[in-house]
Amino acid sequence: MKLKHLSLSVMLIGAVSTVHASGYHFGTQSVSSQSTANASAAEASDASTIFYNAAGMTKLPGTNFSGALNLVAPSVKYSNAEAFTAPTPVAPNGTKIQGSSSGKIVDDLIAVPHLYVTHQLNDRFTAGLGIYVPFASATHYQTNSVLRYNLNETELKTIDFNPTIAFKLNDQHSFAVGVVAQYADAKLVQYANFAQSLAGAYGRAALDAKTAAQKLGAAAAAETDSTKKAELAKKAQDAVALATKASTAAQAALAQDGTGALDGHAKINGDDWGFGYTLAWLWDINENARIGVNYRSKVKHKLEGEADWTVPAGAEGQIMEALGYIDSSAKVDIDTPESLSLHGMFKVAPKWTTFADVTWTKHSRFDRAEVVYGADKQVLPPPADKANKTILSPSWKNTYKVALGASFDYSEPLQLRAGIAYDKTPVPSEDKRLATMPDNDRIWFSFGGNYKLNKVSSIDVAYSYIKIQDGSANVNGYCGGSAPREVNCVSSYTKGSADYKAYANLLGVQYNYRF
């Protein structure tokens, strides 16, 4: 499958998997904030405040630049995996899928950059531009994984362009509004088990040929003309041979159910632009205390493109065309979630400052999604109705993240920073956990520091260890139904399970300069 406008269709089918933050967020867009586990949104110490609270730009005189690079070393491993094909009369509980039952599903290292610049227009207005990565991930199971019929390989790279303007109402209150233009590039590979579809198609052909043979035989028996009688008998004999051949092919196809010999796959490559906005407010309660609010809107995507299928060797041609597995259009609608952050900072001593942040995200927007194809596909044994859509119902719930941090001015050039955060997963249960997003609750442990090189420049360095709770997933291709074939959809109707262990190491370096 190729989608010309894709943006978050990978997310749509559970493909956006990261180990950095719950759901499908990258997790951090600033090294100075990363060092406090993203608790320091109210600080506004450098230009990266554009992402966390753009009203903080009014705290930055002149022109400011911040450039950050995050290096992520993730580890997501699955084990004890098993899966079964859809039930058949021969195998009422399905056939156990052959393949690998364990492995690592993420790359060893990911590099992600972020850039910010602010410029003070006058005493009240400050303009800024943020270019950052809100989503970035890649997951890939082995091509022979027993879970391959769910999703096998996914990649997502996104970048936001966020021009913003901030207004200083008075010495205590500042406000900001920004526009978000989001570009996304994605890839998806999903394998399909064609054994049952081909067995059904051949079986139907055998039944039709057998019926034709019976009719021709009856016609030959009733025919009095010897020449016509012979012709009808020959046609009946050919129909019997065709029925036998088709029946043999059906049995051979069914014998390959779940072995991988009759696997096909769909591919998705595409990109898209989506648009949203940000709002922020910052209040200096007094010289020691500050609180702020930051809102990021949803981003709406309408995706249209083309579907491209690769079918099993030897099954190309008319039979796959009859089943509907041909190039066609594809479309899907998806919204990314909005979020609301409340944060504060308090100077408890001349050298000590504490930070806190609570962020709510409306992940419930990822409740149900449908990929609609332009060509109907035979997914149940003929003559059952065909289907033109794949349905997902992850039923995600709204989540929250709580972060606490602190900074200590060790010396004139050096400030030490640390933080801890608890990030709640949107996945409601192991029955809703997606194979390409084995998301779970996580805890951030972060520390780092800021070193002033001179009066106009400094460097931030941060390290985070992200521990993700072990979890299990019960995955299926039932399209929201409680049993295979209960909902007619484009799916292999497989079911499976696996255990997951995950963590990540995150290293960041950021350079700040004031012109």
Condensed to tens digits (0 to 9), the pLDDT of residues 132-158 reads 988 777 788 888 999 988 777 777 777
Query: Comparing C-alpha atoms, which of 155, 158, 375 is closest to residue 267?
Result: 155
Judge if 281 and 230 occupy the same domain: no
Judge if 248 and 330 occupy the same domain: no
Residue 15 — very low, low, confident or very high, per pLDDT cuts 50/70/90? Answer: very low
Residue 11 — very low, low, confident or very high, per pLDDT cuts 50/70/90? Answer: very low
Judge if 59 and 134 occupy the same domain: yes
Query: Comparing C-alpha atoms, which of 88, 87, 201, 194 is closest to residue 148?
Result: 194
DSSP 8-state class, residue 35? T
Interior angle at CA 59, CA 57 and CA 63, nearest 5: 65
From CA 135, how far away is CA 412, in angstroms rounded?
Answer: 36
Domain count for the chain, please give it.
Answer: 2
Q: Is the pLDDT reported for residue 343 higher than 70? A: yes
Judge if 282 and 327 occupy the same domain: yes
Q: Comparing 433 with 172, which gets the higher pLDDT?
A: 172
Q: Is the pLDDT reported for residue 488 higher than 60? A: yes
- The answer to whether 312 and 323 have CB atoms below 8 angstroms apart is no
Judge if 203 and 182 occupy the same domain: no
20 inside domain: yes
Judge if 417 and 465 occupy the same domain: yes
From CA 374, how far away is CA 369, in angstroms rounded?
Answer: 16
From CA 49, how far away is CA 30, in angstroms rounded?
Answer: 8
2 inside domain: no
Q: Comparing 304 with 441, which gets the higher pLDDT?
A: 441
pLDDT, tens digit, 9 for 90 and up, residues 389-417: 888 788 889 999 999 999 999 999 999 99
pLDDT, tens digit, 9 for 90 and up, residues 35-54: 999 999 999 999 999 999 99
Residue 267 confidence (pLDDT) = 75
Q: Can you list the positions of beta strands (E) in 288-409?
A: 289-296, 299-310, 328-336, 339-349, 352-361, 369-377, 387-392, 399-409
Q: What is the mean pLDDT of the chain?
A: 87
Query: Comparing C-alpha atoms, which of 335, 330, 331 is closest to residue 368?
Result: 335
Q: Is the pLDDT reported for residue 55 higher than 50? A: yes
> What Å distances lie between residue 255 and 95, 259, 363, 494, CA to CA?
10, 8, 42, 16
Residue 2 — very low, low, confident or very high, per pLDDT cuts 50/70/90? Answer: very low
Residue indicated by tokens 């509004």: 177
For residue 331, what are the contacts with CB-CB under 8 A and spacing of at least 6? 302, 303, 304, 305, 371, 372
Judge if 23 and 98 occupy the same domain: yes
3 inside domain: no
369 inside domain: yes
Residue 14 confidence (pLDDT) = 39
Q: Is the pLDDT reported for residue 483 higher than 80? A: yes
For residue 61, what are the contacts with CB-CB under 8 A and spacing of at least 6? 120, 514
- The answer to whether 137 and 155 have CB atoms below 8 angstroms apart is yes
Judge if 415 and 490 occupy the same domain: yes
Residue 67 confidence (pLDDT) = 97
450 inside domain: yes
Judge if 275 and 252 occupy the same domain: no
Residue 321 confidence (pLDDT) = 76
Q: Comparing 304 with 394, which gets the higher pLDDT?
A: 394
491 inside domain: yes
pLDDT, tens digit, 9 for 90 and up, residues 239-249: 999 999 989 98
From CA 100, how far away is CA 82, in angstroms rounded?
Answer: 9
Judge if 397 and 460 occupy the same domain: yes
Of 238, 261, 284, the domain-final residue: 261
Residue 407 belongs to a domain with what CATH number? Answer: 2.40.160.60
Residue 382 confidence (pLDDT) = 59
> What Å distances lie between residue 297 and 5, 136, 300, 414, CA to CA?
20, 19, 10, 36
Of 210, 234, 261, the domain-final residue: 261
Sign of CA dihedral 250, 252, 253, 254: positive
Residue 16 confidence (pLDDT) = 40
From CA 36, how far away is CA 445, in angstroms rounded?
Answer: 9
Residue 434 — very low, low, confident or very high, per pLDDT cuts 50/70/90? Answer: confident
* Listed ranges 88-97, 276-285, 336-345; the one with the highest mean pLDDT: 276-285
Q: Is the pLDDT reported for residue 20 higher than 60? A: no
4 inside domain: no
- The answer to whether 198 and 319 have CB atoms below 8 angstroms apart is yes
- The answer to whether 37 and 462 have CB atoms below 8 angstroms apart is no
1 inside domain: no
Judge if 202 and 308 occupy the same domain: no
DSSP 8-state class, residue 216? H
Of 207, 241, 261, the domain-final residue: 261
Residue 124 — very low, low, confident or very high, per pLDDT cuts 50/70/90? Answer: very high
Q: Is the pLDDT reported for residue 319 higher than 80? A: no
Q: Is the pLDDT reported for residue 192 higher than 90? A: no
Q: Is the pLDDT reported for residue 477 higher than 70? A: yes
Judge if 274 and 255 occupy the same domain: no
Range of the domain at 233: 195-261
pLDDT, tens digit, 9 for 90 and up, residues 75-123: 999 999 999 998 888 888 889 999 999 999 887 788 889 999 999 999 9
